[in-house]
Amino acid sequence: MTAVIPKPVKSQVMKDSFTPDASKFSLDGLFTDISADDKETTVYANNNMQARVYIGYSYDDDVDDTNPDVLAALDNYIKTNIVFHLLDDTNTLHDLTSDWQASATDNGYEHCIDYTSSDTENKSIYGRRTPYFLIPPAKEAGSEYKLCATLTGTDEQTEVDAPLVIHTHYFEIEDSDFEIHSLGGSGGATLRVLRYVHNGGSMVPDGHRIKKITTYKGMNVNNYVADHEPNAWIAMTHAPNGDKAGIIVEGHPKNIYAGEDREVYYYYLMVDIQNEDEPPGDWIQCNGSAWDQLKDMDASEADDGIAMVLLTSVNVSSKHGAKHKLDFHTKGYELIDNYGNHVNFDIDWGDFNSEDDWYGNWKVCNVEPVRP
């Protein structure tokens, strides 16, 4: 009988992961650009906007600097062990106070008010830069901070004579810094955008853009058709001098869904409406052909602000004892922009007793920046 000897199984040996050696690092400085030697930046004191700081370093060892895992390990070591310090007038180092926020993660807001950074990255282990993010104290707008850094476990320190400098100030804005601009439409539906203008009273810098409204208000039908969730709010509907409605869209969808002509909705939300004497009954109904134009409107055309729609010859009716047209509008909004600024504002929906109101002469009013 011949014994069957199984073939040997080759062991799978995992390659050792790369572990950086602290003694091989040297700090080259702190910068505000990934390749240029800029060392100053300006941010809003709003508890959201991060100053992006590039930590310059070199690693003096024979490693494979084409291996992304090696580079990631080096960057991670720097981010884990870097310590930032404030410099006083005598260049003495002080710990960051507890109201500073430091993170290795980008929170998605812009990082400098009036500067566009380079996109040319040095991939080498010599003169490499990796980003870190700092939010200065919001209560001290108008301050100037000088920073240097040390690396834990080493004697490395960036030069105190060439510090990174962060300037802070508050965001200033007023009514004249906004517009509600018509982008066109048809069939009684006009797409609009609520956005900043850059020649208003506060001269809001170019590049500032409204991201979203933090809380939507008005009427939201939440039993739309099965394959479409509502993505817009009926923020105003009034009947004097011609039936009309104002829609505020959530985000920038390719198709807008707020309601359909002659559709009855038994489930809906009403949030912070004004001037409705009686609450609606057990159902509401959208009336007017312009409602059906919404589905063909692309809100991405309003991507530099908040998408809105003016509907004419439409109304929202309700059964409350007897069928009647609803009459309400909303106010008291808050927005956030791409620099992390929060702003409170109202919308002046027009003079409902004027014949000019048919044209929907809306404007932003009662603007007030939110201070942390």
**Which residues does residue 193 pair with via DSSP β-bridges, in sequence order?**
181, 307
DSSP string, 219-274: EEES---TT----EEEEEEE-TTS-EEEEEESS--SS--S--TT-EES-EEEESEE
Residues 174 and 359: their CA atoms lie apart, in Å, by 24
Average pLDDT over residues 292-303: 92
Tokens, residue 366: 């009662």
Query: Tell me, what's the pLDDT at 5?
Result: 39
* Separation of CA 290 from chain center: 31
The yes-or-no verdict on residue 340 having pLDDT over 70 is yes
- pLDDT tier at 180, thresholds 50, 70, 90: very high
pTM confidence score: 0.86
Which architecture, in CATH terms, is 22-169? Sandwich (2.60)
Report, as an integer, the average pLDDT of 295-309: 94
φ/ψ of residue 177, rounded to 5: -90, 10
Task: Give CA–CA dist 204/242, Å, rounded.
Answer: 36
- Residue 17 binned pLDDT confidence (cut-offs 50, 70, 90): confident
Q: 234: which residues sit within 8 A by CB, 6+ positions away?
A: 218, 219, 220, 245, 246, 247, 258, 259, 316
* Residue 3: how many other CB atoms lie within 10 Å: 4
Listed in order, the ranges of the chain carrying CATH 2.60.40 are: 22-169
- As a whole number, mean pLDDT of residues 17-28 equals 93
Closest CA to 45 of 155, 170, 143, 166: 170
pLDDT at 12: 34
Which amino acid appears at position 203 of this protein? M
Rounded to an integer, what distance in angstroms lies between the CA atom of residue 104 and that of residue 102? 7
Q: Using the predicted structure, report yes or no on whether residue 139 has a pLDDT greater than 50.
A: yes
Q: What mean pLDDT is reported for the chain?
A: 87
